Structure 1
Amino acid sequence: MGRILAIDYGTKRTGLAVTDPMQIIASGLTTVDTKELIQYLRTYIANEDVEKFVVGEPKQMDNTASESEVHIQKFLEELIKQFPNIPVERVDERFTSKMAFQTMIDSGLKKKQRQNKALVDEISATLILQSYLASNS
């Protein structure tokens, strides 16, 4: 079995999370400058068996696509072009940033640490991946 890699895409930074090879545990991987994302994924996939991508799908409260979906669609086209053999699934990512911030508070991180947007993105990707695993177990 290969890993599942979750992507919380952003125009500046992108949070990444990954499962263990048995696809049981979701862990934060890193946050990457979005301009370097495809190259980072190439390197990662050269060293790890990735079975699937799970990409966050931002929606409005009325279930319509959010403004950032335009950017995500362009990214998805490139992702599929670069990695045609790895399927992509989408997961509703509403509230993941708020949940990530609350997770940081609950884990006792100091205010200065909670201002680290890169960490919020990585935690958000982990929450997206956990949501995917829970809905597919």
Structure 2
Amino acid sequence: MRVMAFDYGTKRIGIAVTDPLQIIATALTTVHPEEIWLFLADYLQREEVETFVVGKPLQMDGSDSESGQHVLGFVRKLKKLYPHVPVAEIDERFTSKMASAVIAQSGKKKSKRQEKGLVDTVSATIILQSYMQKKGF
């Protein structure tokens, strides 16, 4: 069973998943928030997901950020629609900066590096890797 991670944004949601053995975290796609529920319904018909991991945006002092309200609503709806799938929240501070650095180091052309969707999926992958490390995978 897979673990699925989300980097939630009001314009795009970056999504990453593990392989079924939960060894490797891979960027999956970016979805518009209005399309996420249709995407999940379709994906979950084909694949089993054991846990959802959602990046929680925090301020530098550890308090909730302004965008945290959007993430909270997303988490509530996830739990309501998929009560059998546990939701873990993980600190996502610095993931976008880390994602941009990883993309820059990958040697991609500048135009490709500036694609926001790429940053979002890489951020989701970093969130998923952080979760996996904490769980001892």
1:110 offset after TM fit, Å? 1.2
Aligned pairs for 1:36-55 within 5 A? 36-55=35-54
Percent of residue pairs bearing the same amino acid type: 54
In the alignment, the residues of structure 1 paired with residue 73 and residue 62 of structure 2 have an alpha-carbon distance, to the nearest angstrom, of 20
Provide the C-alpha distance between the structure 2 equivalents of 1:133 and 1:76, rounded to a whole number of angstroms: 19
- Is 1:90 equivalent to 2:89 in the alignment? yes
Counterpart AA for 1:11:
T
TM-score normalised by length of structure 2:
0.97
> 1:48 corresponds to which letter in structure 2?
E
| Structure 1 stretches of 4+ moved >2 Å | none
What amino acid is aligned across from residue 54 of structure 1 in structure 2? V
TM-score normalized with structure 1 length: 0.97
Unmatched segments (≥5 aa) in structure 2: none
Alpha-carbon RMSD:
0.6
- Distance (whole Å) between structure 2 residues aligned to residue 100 and residue 29 of structure 1: 14
Aligned positions, number: 136
What is the CA–CA distance in structure 2 between the aligned matches of 1:82 and 1:46, rounded to whole Å? 14
- Give, as a single letter, the amino acid of the residue that structure 2 aligns with 1:127: I
Gaps of 5+ in 1: none
Q: Is the 8 A contact 1:4 1:54 kept in 2?
A: yes
